């Protein structure tokens, strides 16, 4: 069974974080909400309080198959400012494990120099902060073990791409049907 850590800090975008948690758990992927910082609950960008499964300082990242970063400007800034996050991202990339980010959070991957030569996307208007990346033109981009997406409106296809990567395309299609997700809408 696959296991993912979603790193959330105060100010994270709730749609981007919780959609990923919800759909991964529906696909039987263990998805732990890991609080970056020492506070619990985590308070999202729209004042929604979320109880994390664990705190960053208490997490053994060796048991995870991937890390996901939700956006939200304050949350992304907190992730970027925490050197432990960059250390874990670099470690996961070096081990060929999944690193994924949505909205503003791909800038954290770029700050760690993990997007050099990779195709990536982020929130429109922030592309200049994806140093070294080839800027894609899709809502969700997968390049090797890195998956990026544009923003809150792309949270469902982002989460479904994670399911396809971690489980299977078939399971992602089943989930899309079960939640009545229509890509043409």
Average pLDDT value over all residues in the chain: 96
> What is the rounded distance in angstroms from the CA atom of residue 182 to the CA atom of residue 136?
22
Q: Rounded to two decimals, what is the model's pTM?
A: 0.96
Per-residue model confidence as pLDDT tens digits over 69-97: 999 999 999 999 999 999 999 999 999 99
Per-residue model confidence as pLDDT tens digits over 131-169: 999 999 999 999 999 999 999 999 999 999 999 999 999
Is the pLDDT confidence value at 185 over 60? no
Cβ within 8 Å of residue 137, ≥6 positions away: 121
Contact, 62 vs 97, CB < 8 A?
Answer: no
Place 184 in a pLDDT band, splitting at 50, 70 and 90: low
pLDDT at 40: 87
Q: What is the mean pLDDT of residues 29-48?
A: 94
Closest CA to 147 of 181, 125, 172, 170: 172
For residue 146, what are its two tokens?
């890195």
Is the pLDDT confidence value at 52 over 90? yes
For residue 178, what are its two tokens?
């079960």
For residue 175, what are its two tokens?
């989930």
Q: How many CA atoms lie within 13 A of 120 on its CB side?
A: 33
- Residue 8 is among the residues annotated as catalytic for this protein: no
Which of the 8 DSSP states describes residue 133? P
Fold entry, domain 3-178: Rossmann fold (3.40.50)
Per-residue model confidence as pLDDT tens digits over 95-141: 999 999 999 999 999 999 999 999 999 999 999 999 999 999 999 99
Place 38 in a pLDDT band, splitting at 50, 70 and 90: confident
**Candidates 8, 31, 103, 122; catalytic one:** 103
pLDDT at 128: 97
């Amino acid at each position: 069974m696959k296991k993912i850590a979603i790193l959330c800090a105060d100010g994270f975008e709730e749609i981007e974080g919780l959609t990923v948690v919800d759909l991964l758990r529906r696909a039987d992927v263990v998805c732990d909400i890991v609080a970056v910082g020492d506070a619990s609950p985590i308070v999202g960008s729209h004042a929604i309080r979320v109880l994390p499964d664990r705190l960053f300082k208490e997490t053994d990242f060796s048991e995870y198959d991937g890390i996901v970063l939700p956006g939200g400007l304050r949350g992304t800034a907190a992730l970027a400012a925490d050197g432990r996050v960059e250390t874990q991202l670099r470690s996961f990339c070096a081990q060929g494990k999944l690193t994924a980010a949505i909205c503003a959070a791909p800038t954290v991957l770029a700050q760690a120099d993990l997007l050099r030569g990779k195709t990536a996307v982020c929130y429109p208007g922030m592309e200049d902060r994806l140093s070294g990346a080839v800027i894609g033109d899709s809502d969700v981009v997968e390049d090797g073990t890195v998956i990026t997406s544009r923003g809150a409106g792309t949270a469902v296809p982002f989460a479904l791409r994670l399911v396809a990567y971690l489980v299977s395309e078939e399971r992602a299609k089943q989930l899309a049907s079960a939640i009545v997700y229509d890509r043409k809408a």
